[in-house]
Amino acid sequence: MTRIAIRRALITVYDKTGLEDLARGLEAAGVEIVSTGGTAAAIASYGVPVTRVESLTGFPECLDGRVKTLHPRVHAGLLADGGNPSHVKQLEELEIEQFQLAVVNLYPFAATVASGASDAECVEQIDIGGPAMIRAAAKNHGTVAVVVDPAAYGDVLAAAAEGGFTLTERRRLAATAYAHTAAYDVAVASWFGNVYAPEGEWPSFMGAAWKRKAALRYGENPHQGAALYTGGTDGLANAEQLHGKEMSYNNYVDADAAWRAAWDFAEPAVAIIKHANPCGIAVGADVAEAHRKAHECDPVSAYGGVIAVNRKVTRELAEQIAPIFTEVVVAPSFAADALEILREKKNIRLLACPSGPANAAEFRRVDGGLLVQTVDRVDAPGDDPSGWELRAGEPASPEVLADLAFAWRACRSVKSNAILLATGGATVGVGMGQVNRVDSARLAVARAGERAAGSVGASDAYFPFPDGLQVLTEAGVKAIVEPGGSIRDDQVIEAAKEAGITLYFTGTRHFFH
């Protein structure tokens, strides 16, 4: 078991949660406590004996507290290997006592940055002595237990009563400690590179710290392992699950795609996603209407889909969803009576995520590297219909223009090559993921059926030839919006004129892979 009894502890913490119980418990276990500044004052106020670090070092805290523990009598006590006779002898000669426990947490740098504090205040909250002590104790985990989380104080007191932490426990504590300082350093380095001393649009260093939230049953397929990690921010990964089975890897992928698609709209909107592609997207006067319209787009594919709603789920919406086999419903919140209805479905997963997607950048791993890009929020200049260029036909009526604007915005969430048909603020046919635009147009028309006639169409990128547009016009599509930019734009425009339809160019592309 290799337990090492805790005889002497160094405690220096910014977050004093649980400090009183910890100090009293260590005192009861006969542990000598050494501490610094405000931590020592707090411990003394509890009536617990404490040795101030300056009495240990013989040197006062200075420089407004910037220098407290950076001293050999502290670090030698943390770094001395109790199993090394040479180290033990040197400690005796130097009259330095070992620590068996270090309890340290750090200045709240990330919280200070998030608060909007000045640069000078942020710099002042960069902890120096704390990380040094944590890293020293973690390196010397063969002798010292290091604790960085107040949630572990109960384990500390239990270990003190049982003769100390085992080597396995000290290793795990050290791993947690190094993860803690690594995340802290990433936060500081990221702030310097992105805010305080930027070098351009993209920093020369990019780091992230992720903490495992859940081990998933498997990945995309049963033979693949998988886990969910979170980065300490709000978002879908930290949504509250109100009901249902555990989320799977594929559930998260589809829920993320649906959540983003629903929040592409300011109006009440519903997106139904299957295999990361829309079965239907719609806006409405309320979420129940939006869901009815979205579901009607492709009810066969919606079976077993994921539904995202950008407003509270109402009773009426819950009554519509309940008869349909659905994997996940994610929304900002659920009305109490809506929850009661949906919880009657044993397996449906209900996620409450109060805020919409907020990531400024998105990442994709490639072999040996990482691709980073800003998130497409459908907010480029060409996404505003008032700036669209009319290239064929009569200007669209307000109703048709509204449908074109909806189709253009909804098309963003469709895997390229993407063609989307819409009527009345709802998709009626979606052609996605084809390797040529003609096949995507054919697929959209086939899915729309008779609804293609009189609908409007959107293409995420230009038509390289007239044939894709002609597939739509022959099906009765009356207006189309696309980026333009093909070397054969003149042929596409001529085909639109011959068909007598309205054609707008946006000048903006929305590839999605």
Which amino acid belongs to residue 136? A
State how far the Cα of 100 lies from the Cα of 170, in Å rounded to an integer. 10
87 exposed, middle or buried (CB, 10 Å; 0-12, 13-18, 19+)?
middle
Q: Residue 223 is encoded by which pair of tokens?
A: 């033979």
Domain-located, residue 216: no
Residue of 160, 157, 158, 136 whose CA lies nearest to 146 = 136
Instruction: Tell me the pTM.
Output: 0.87
Which amino acid belongs to residue 176? T
Whether residue 125 sits in one domain with residue 20:
yes
Do 304 and 274 meet the contact criterion of CB atoms below 8 Å apart? yes
Do 308 and 326 meet the contact criterion of CB atoms below 8 Å apart? no
Domain-located, residue 463: yes
Whether residue 149 sits in one domain with residue 261:
no
Q: What's the CA angle centered on 472, arms 467 and 478, to 5 degrees?
A: 130
Q: What's the CA angle centered on 350, arms 347 and 353, to 5 degrees?
A: 160
Domain-located, residue 190: yes
Whether residue 176 sits in one domain with residue 79:
yes
Q: Residue 130 is encoded by which pair of tokens?
A: 């704390």
Whether residue 173 sits in one domain with residue 109:
yes
Domain-located, residue 113: yes
Do 302 and 282 meet the contact criterion of CB atoms below 8 Å apart? no
- Which residue among 16, 71, 139, 245 is the active-site one? 139
DSSP state of 313: B
Domain-located, residue 163: yes
Local confidence band at 240 (pLDDT 50, 70, 90 cut-offs): very high
Conformation bin of residue 125: beta by default, left when phi > 0, alpha when psi is -120 to 50: alpha
Flag whether pLDDT at 431 surpasses 90.
yes
Whether residue 42 sits in one domain with residue 149:
yes
Local confidence band at 1 (pLDDT 50, 70, 90 cut-offs): low
201 or 17, greater pLDDT: 17
As for how many domains the chain has, the answer is 3
pLDDT at 456: 98
- Which residue among 16, 87, 243, 275 is the active-site one? 275
Whether residue 34 sits in one domain with residue 153:
yes
Catalytic, 275? Answer: yes
Which amino acid belongs to residue 5? A
Which CATH number goes with the domain that contains 274?
3.40.140.20
Collapsing DSSP to helix, strand or coil, 46 comes out as coil
Whether residue 336 sits in one domain with residue 260:
yes
Whether residue 401 sits in one domain with residue 291:
no
Q: Which helix (H) or strand (E) holds 178?
A: helix 167-191
Q: Tell me the mean pLDDT in the region 316-339.
A: 97
Domain edge (last residue) among 352, 372, 399: 352
Catalytic, 139? Answer: yes
pLDDT in tens, 247-286: 999 999 999 999 999 999 999 999 999 999 999 999 999 9
State how far the Cα of 140 lies from the Cα of 260, in Å rounded to an integer. 46
Domain-located, residue 1: no
Whether residue 431 sits in one domain with residue 310:
no
State how far the Cα of 424 lies from the Cα of 472, in Å rounded to an integer. 18
Domain edge (last residue) among 352, 374, 398: 352
Domain-located, residue 468: yes
Domain-located, residue 2: no
Whether residue 170 sits in one domain with residue 31:
yes
Residue 245: domain span: 236-352
**If you search the block for the tokens 């805020």, which residue do you land on?**
355
How far from the centroid of its chain's Cα atoms is residue 65's Cα?
A: 35
Whether residue 145 sits in one domain with residue 36:
yes
Average pLDDT taken over every residue of the chain: 92
Which CATH number goes with the domain that contains 177?
3.40.50.1380
pLDDT at 314: 97
Flag whether pLDDT at 193 surpasses 80.
yes
Domain edge (last residue) among 298, 327, 352: 352
Whether residue 498 sits in one domain with residue 411:
yes
